[in-house]
Amino acid sequence: MARAPRAPRRRTSPRIADVTISSDGGLERVVAALHAAGHGHLRADLEKRIRQQGSRTLRKVRAAVRSIPSKGVAGGGRQQRGGRGLRAAVADATRIATRTRGKRPGVRFEVRVSRLPVEQWRLPAYLDQQARWRHPVYGNAEVWVRQRTGRPWFGATIRSDERQFAAAVQQALQDTADRITR
């Protein structure tokens, strides 16, 4: 008897490197100053600039997952993903999120697995590692195969851009701080 796949508890991809880029307290200080001075529009501008800086890295991450080599024929999961292949669906589900409020403000790159079918929520993590994984052939629970797939595409790509991105975020913070003091 086949068991139904268990869904992870959270909606972002499990076991993919949780890459968060945050400043050394500068973001918290600038946002607190914005709030105290009543400059909510500047906070929105800061978030927008940070997202714009991250879009270059996001494009690289999406290109990296799309470039993972694929062998064989299209699988049965394509119908569940609305006619898209797995790599394209994972690339489309990859997002950047900025947070300027709360305990841990920063920038977070994530794969929103809620944009994939529930039984495929773990696939982005499998694609991010060079390992073997088992799956049923075209959903047939009686015929399983081991497949070697993937390569590091998520955390490695983000870390390669981390210095440039962090410098751009620091510049956006400095520009916003300068606007507050004017």
Cα–Cα distance for residue pair 163/174, rounded to 1 Å: 16
Please report, as a single letter, which amino acid is at residue 153.
Answer: W
Q: What is the mean pLDDT of residues 149-153?
A: 79
Q: What is the pTM for the complete model shown? A: 0.69
Residue 33 has pLDDT above 90, yes or no: no
Give the highest mean pLDDT range of 20-34, 50-64, 65-79. Answer: 50-64
Q: Summarize pLDDT for 67-102 with one digit per residue, the tens.
A: 888 765 555 566 666 667 888 889 999 998 887 777
**CA 20, 26, 28, 31 torsion-angle sign:** negative
List the one residue out of 54, 67, 73 whose CA is nearest residue 127.
67
Please report, as a single letter, which amino acid is at residue 101.
Answer: R
| Structure confidence at residue 17 (pLDDT) | 44
| Structure confidence at residue 109 (pLDDT) | 87
- The tokens for 132 are 């073997």
Q: Which residue has the higher pLDDT, 93 or 16?
A: 93
Cα–Cα distance for residue pair 6/14, rounded to 1 Å: 12
Residue 47 has pLDDT above 50, yes or no: yes
